Amino acid sequence: MRHCSGGSLSLSSVAVSIVGASGYSGIELVRILSRHPHIALQSLFANASVGKRVDEVYPWFRGSVGKTFEPYSVEAACKSDLIFIALPSGDAMSIVPRLLDRGKKVIDLGGDFRLQDPELYTRYYPHTHASPQYLTNAVYGLPELNRKSIAGAQLIANPGCYPTSAIIPLFPLLKAGIINSSGITISSLSGVSGAGRRTSIDLSFAEVNETVKAYKVGTHQHTPEIQTILSDATRKPVSITFVPHLIPISRGIFTSIYANLEGDCAVTDILQIYDRHYTNEPFVRYTPSSSPEIKNVIHTNYVDIGFYTHPENNQLIVLSTIDNLVKGAAGQAVQNMNIMYGFEEREGLR
């Protein structure tokens, strides 16, 4: 699989804090940032785990992270240069404005600032946006599309895990005009960690084991995210059908994409398009006529892509895999941070 890297190294140190540090995405941030050579990890804010040591809740941190989870306060958070927010959607919108107004940089891993239309947000999320005036300030944090804007941003809306697995494979194809921008079908399979670290009967081992379940069919909040980002990036209306599924694994996403070709197109043509866009991308790997596997991206920031043409049906089939907690959440957030501060883009993610 092809990949390349680049970037310049800054030796400055950045003080960071994490809101929601005890959840799956938050603790993944702790894991990555604790080994980052240019980061000073300050406050780790949590709710249910307040007062407990990190290595008490997650014993694998013994000997490496001895911090204690703290209750959140804006005063404590503002002692940092950058604040990561790893909270369920709906929680960040009341926290972010006060941090931005004090001049802090923020990377939000939730969905509160991914959609710039507050009415669209209300249609797909179960609440009204409390800070709509800040939506247009957010930069969508997908480096493969928005690297220049990310570098100068104060607020990053970290992409959703499903959208990351779909947008990266689709963008070059739509940009090149070789697939129809309507009628695209996306079917994604996700491990249960994508739902967060919360108590739920539906997510218990007995309920998810030995079965596959589709959920939020036609209503999932990532549908407008995928459509709007691709439409804006390609400057053409994009319409998709998106169906997410829960599968009995802890982490990882496997996405299958089906699109109609606009004309005759060989696998070598697809390869050339991906080469033009992704040869120098440090975390995009792609191989023609090959199916990626979740096991090859777990605990990494890579997105692996495979693709096939189906001439009889005039169709293109694209497959992708990511780790939903790394490239789909914490790893991508750190990649964005590296770009914001001029660190080598793979720092902490090797």
Is residue 93 classed exposed, middle or buried when 0-12, 13-18 and 19+ CB atoms within 10 A define those classes? Answer: buried
pLDDT on residue 37: 95
Weakest-pLDDT range from 197-211, 227-241, 313-327: 197-211
- Claim to verify: residue 194 and residue 273 sit in the same structural domain: yes
The pair of structure tokens assigned to 121 is 């947000």
Query: Over 90: is that where the pLDDT of 213 sits?
Result: yes
The pair of structure tokens assigned to 19 is 């809101």
- Claim to verify: residue 190 and residue 56 sit in the same structural domain: no
* Catalytic annotation, pick one of 4, 78, 161, 265: 161
- Claim to verify: residue 237 and residue 332 sit in the same structural domain: no
- Give a yes or no: residue 264 inside a domain: yes
- Nearest one of 311, 314, 184, 203 to 255, comparing CA atoms: 184
- Claim to verify: residue 192 and residue 203 sit in the same structural domain: yes
Q: How far apart are CA 236 and CA 234, in angstroms?
A: 5
- Give a yes or no: residue 2 inside a domain: no
Q: Domain range spanning residue 217? A: 162-324
Q: What is the CATH number of the domain that holds 305?
A: 3.30.360.10
pLDDT tens for each residue of 56-76:
999 999 999 989 999 999 999
- Give a yes or no: residue 347 inside a domain: no
Structure confidence at residue 181 as a pLDDT band (50, 70, 90) = very high
- Claim to verify: residue 133 and residue 196 sit in the same structural domain: no
Query: Over 50: is that where the pLDDT of 232 sits?
Result: yes
- Give a yes or no: residue 275 inside a domain: yes
Q: How many domains does the chain have?
A: 2
- Claim to verify: residue 147 and residue 219 sit in the same structural domain: no
- Claim to verify: residue 129 and residue 195 sit in the same structural domain: no
- Give a yes or no: residue 33 inside a domain: yes
- Give a yes or no: residue 145 inside a domain: yes
- Claim to verify: residue 169 and residue 70 sit in the same structural domain: no
- Give a yes or no: residue 103 inside a domain: yes
290 neighbors 127 (Cβ within 8 angstroms): no
Q: What is the CATH number of the domain that holds 119?
A: 3.40.50.720
Q: How far apart are CA 283 and CA 266, in angstroms?
A: 25
Q: How far apart are CA 64 and CA 66, in angstroms?
A: 7
- Claim to verify: residue 54 and residue 184 sit in the same structural domain: no
- Claim to verify: residue 44 and residue 80 sit in the same structural domain: yes
Query: Over 90: is that where the pLDDT of 106 sits?
Result: yes
- Claim to verify: residue 119 and residue 152 sit in the same structural domain: yes
Q: Is 265 among the residues known to form the active site?
A: no
Mean pLDDT, residues 315-329: 98
Q: How far apart are CA 54 and CA 192, in angstroms?
A: 22
- Claim to verify: residue 193 and residue 155 sit in the same structural domain: no
Structure confidence at residue 5 as a pLDDT band (50, 70, 90) = very low
Query: Over 50: is that where the pLDDT of 34 sits?
Result: yes
- Give a yes or no: residue 304 inside a domain: yes
pLDDT on residue 11: 52
Query: Over 50: is that where the pLDDT of 172 sits?
Result: yes
Alpha carbon separation from 113 to 21, 54, 129, 205, 314 (Å, rounded): 19, 29, 9, 32, 37
Mean pLDDT, residues 120-125: 93
pLDDT tens for each residue of 294-305:
999 999 999 999
